[in-house]
Structure 1
Amino acid sequence: MVAQKTQIAPPKLGEPFLLTPGPLTTSYAVKEAMLRDWGSWDDDFRAMTKSMRSQLLEMLGEGADDFDCVPMQGSGSFAVEAMLASFIPKDGKTLVLANGAYGKRSAQTLAYLNREHIVLDKGDYLPPRGEEVAKILAEDPAITHVVAIHCETSSGILNPIEEISEATYGAGRKLLIDSMSAFGAIELKVADIRYEAMVSSANKCIEGVPGFGFIIARKSELEAAKGNSHSLSLDVHAQWAHMNKTGQWRFTPPTHVVAAFLEALKGHKVEGGVAGRGARYARNRDVMVEGMRELGFETLLKDRWLSPIIVTFFCPADENFVFDQFYALMKEKGFIIYPGKLTVVDSFRVGCIGQMDEHIMRQVVTAAKETLAEMGVASAAPPALALQERAKLAA
């Protein structure tokens, strides 16, 4: 399919752009799709669910016939918990690869589930590497599964999933991927990267609205998952079996959200699918990062690890810079940014996804420049400690 230029328009009624990793700014068409009511048991809605599942599987490319798609009500974290509980058996042991809040959340989830696990914690800004994974797996034959975050949005780092997969399967183990903030904009084709299951949600790179996540898993893993889950509501096998038998969700589905998501999938295809969507996001990132660096801001990550999803910037050392004031003034100018999650130094994040293009990103830079002037910030340079921390990336 030939990609078409995406028409980006300002949000309605003076709404600000959401420069976040989701929820994000959606198109008019996606919003308007929610104006109709649907019966969850009706044939029309069952057809909508079937179409949605099929379209998501198409993004896997060659080999997708071995997989199936199971939507799950709730936020992305609901779907992650469902994946972990359903595909990791009660006597399994998991290696969690963490370099930010979402890897740690997976470990916390496994603790709640009473699933044995260990954590490779790389801190705020270093990626887990394949050789590290291989070494841990070689030293601990009890490990059955590896959990990896595709894009760790607490830092904005795009983790090296391909080498992690190679290390995992080279050791005869299984990989589960949290691709919450990457799927739909960064390729995850099963012919190129091996994994048993991945999870994402409606309100990320496909540009729908919050309300459900989805698990895409090998059919063999779905069949083997029976009886693993701790939860009635979050049992992926039960949801899958019920959907395949009846075409319906087991419990009340977010009907309006599904309708909006189908409209978002149309826009995704028009833009050229994963490649087209990812190219726009990457251009958004490049334009915004270049402009912010010209203002004196420094990114947490070197270019090699910058994802096209969200970028973390160090807060300026200037004593006149107060993040809450910066946030409020940016919002007045039409842009909602995101607080940072780093533990050592202060930071903030700017998302690159949603209904935005490079022209909008230039407006973001202009707004930041004006805001610094209003605050009396003479320099956006970060404190020395921030640069010392970043230097560890090259170590």
Structure 2
Amino acid sequence: MTTAAPAILLTPGPLTTRLETRQAMLRDWGSRDEAFIALTAEMRRRLLALAGGGDSHAAVPLQGSGTFIVEATIATLVGPADHLLVLVNGAYGERIAAIARRLGRRVDVLTWEEDQPVSPASVDRALAENPAITHVALVHCETTTGLLNPLAEIAALTSRHGKALLVDAMSSFGALPIDLKAHPVAAVMASSNKCLEGVPGLGFALIERRTLAAAKGNCPSLSLDLHDQWQGFETNGQWRFTPPVQVVAALVAALRQLEAEGDPPARLRRYRANFDTLAAGMAEMGFRLFLDAAVQAPIIATFHSPAEPWFRFDGFYRALAGRGFLIYPGKLSRADSFRIGCIGAIEPADFQRLLEAIAAIVDEMKTA
């Protein structure tokens, strides 16, 4: 009996991982054992180092997906008397606002079109007009489209206004530059299964220690309270509740591989080579990118679906899956589209093979 080769995941996560990452999950760990406590400490230390967190921030991991850590961070840091401004130009900014409303927090939203970056001038004006705002939330790379928002500029102006900036860096952390020494950010939220190339099941926040200390009692949830989670790590190095031990082991293996690759700058170069290969080849076949090059991050590419009657996404998806490539449907509110991820343990050669498959599928669809 033969086994089919595993599919290449061209998605924003879960994504294709290295063999060493998967092998790290073959061992069982005691969650209170000294070896696992040391593994958790290494993970937290490496995560902080990637963003220059140093002594100013603490890494607080949490079981669950990226959305879990976003909800936990908002619930912990945005108190009942606080006022959150959410900067929205995609589905994940909208999700932050929805989470804050569900928590009963006071929320305002500034909205841009899905192909437009957040405007620092508009944010500056909103903060000047409403001094009651205490926190601002920004999605660094909006996974809806692959759009890159101006983190450095937003961090500078929120600091000038005395507001705490919360950054959803799910699809940027580990590749795109994030420097907590250079840019004042109260919290950066990300997960194990995107640019870090780990497996799903763990989110984390890098939070200013003084901000965490002041957040005691804010969170209405027991399991999502990042202040108490942090205190547990600071006290004995242990998780408060059963940790995803194999996911932690896989993430540490992936973080070691990231260092061996050359840290985020080297990973970004590989992802950019992936994106450039994909974009050039798709353009030759007549596919149009949704975003302007000036705001496109090399994380995920959103393409307009061809308007011609021969194109049906479901058939396109199934044909690609049959050839070993899994992509994502579009997530735009106003245009038919599909998305192809450029991250994970994949190389430009994989995208050359993808392009050959797409060319063959397009020919088949046109002549069907």
For residue 217 of structure 2, the aligned residue among 219, 227, 243 is 227
Match of 1:128 in 2: 118
Q: Is the 8 A contact 1:181 1:204 kept in 2?
A: yes
C-alpha distance in 2 between matches for 1:246 and 1:214: 18
* 2:56 equivalent in structure 1: 66
Amino acid at match of 1:219: R
Residue 346 (structure 2) pairs with residue 359 (structure 1):
no
1:314 maps to what in 2?
304
**Equivalent residue letter for 1:105:** R
Unaligned runs of 5+ in 2: none
Q: Map 1:298-337 onto structure 2 (within 5 A).
A: 298-337=288-327
Offset of 1:362 from its aligned partner?
A: 1.2
Residue 29 of structure 1 corresponds to which residue in structure 2?
A: 20
Q: Give me the CA root mean square deviation.
A: 1.2
Deviations 1:6-36 (A, max 9, x none): xxxxxx9511100000100000011111111
Structure 1: distance between partners of 2:120 and 2:159: 11
Q: CA deviation at 1:227?
A: 0.5
Output the CA distance in 2 between the equivalents of 1:68 and 1:100: 28
Residues in 2 aligned to 1:370 and 1:160: alpha-carbon distance in whole angstroms:
38
| Count of residues in Structure 1 that have an aligned counterpart in Structure 2 | 366
1:290 pairs, out of 265, 280, 292, with 280
Q: Deviations over 1:210-267 (max 9, x none)?
A: 1110010111011011101010000000000011111110000000001111110111
Mark the runs of 5 or more structure 1 residues left unpaired by the alignment.
Answer: 1-11, 379-395
1:319 CA drift (Å)? 0.2
What is aligned with 1:90?
80
The percentage of aligned residue pairs carrying the same residue is 46
Q: Deviations over 1:346-380 (max 9, x none)?
A: 000000000111111111111111110111179xx
Partner of 2:246: 256
Task: Provide the rounded CA distance (Å) in 2 between the counterparts of 1:331 and 1:193.
Answer: 42
**Which residue identity does 1:108 align to in structure 2?**
A
Q: Which stretch has the larger CA shift, 33-42 or 123-132? A: 123-132
**CA contact under 8 A between 1:268 and 1:277: conserved in structure 2?**
yes
The one-letter amino acid paired with 1:120 is L
1:213 matches 2:212 = no
Q: Distance in 2 between matches of 1:156 and 1:54?
A: 28
SS at match of 2:181: coil
Q: Of residues 43, 47, 53 in structure 2, which corresponds to 1:56?
A: 47
Question: Aligned partners of 1:174 and 1:35: how far apart in 2?
Answer: 41
How many Å apart are 1:60 and its aligned residue? 2.0
Write out per-residue CA displacement over residues 318-369 of structure 1, whole angstroms, 9 at most, x where no aligned residue.
Answer: 1010000000001111110000011212000000000111111111111111
Residue number in structure 2 paired with 1:386: none
Q: Deviations over 1:297-336 (max 9, x none)?
A: 0000011111111010000011010000000001111110
TM norm structure 2? 0.98
| Deviation for aligned residue 1:106 | 0.2
| Ranges of 4+ aligned residues in structure 1 off by more than 3 Å | none
In the alignment, which residue of structure 2 is the partner of 1:371? 361
| 1:17 pairs with 2:8 | yes
CA distance in 1, matches of 2:270, 2:186: 29
Q: Which residue of 2 aligns with 1:163?
A: 153
**TM-score with structure 1 setting the length:** 0.91
- Tell whether the 8 Å contact from 1:129 to 1:163 is kept in structure 2 after alignment: no
Distance 2:114 2:140 in 1: 15
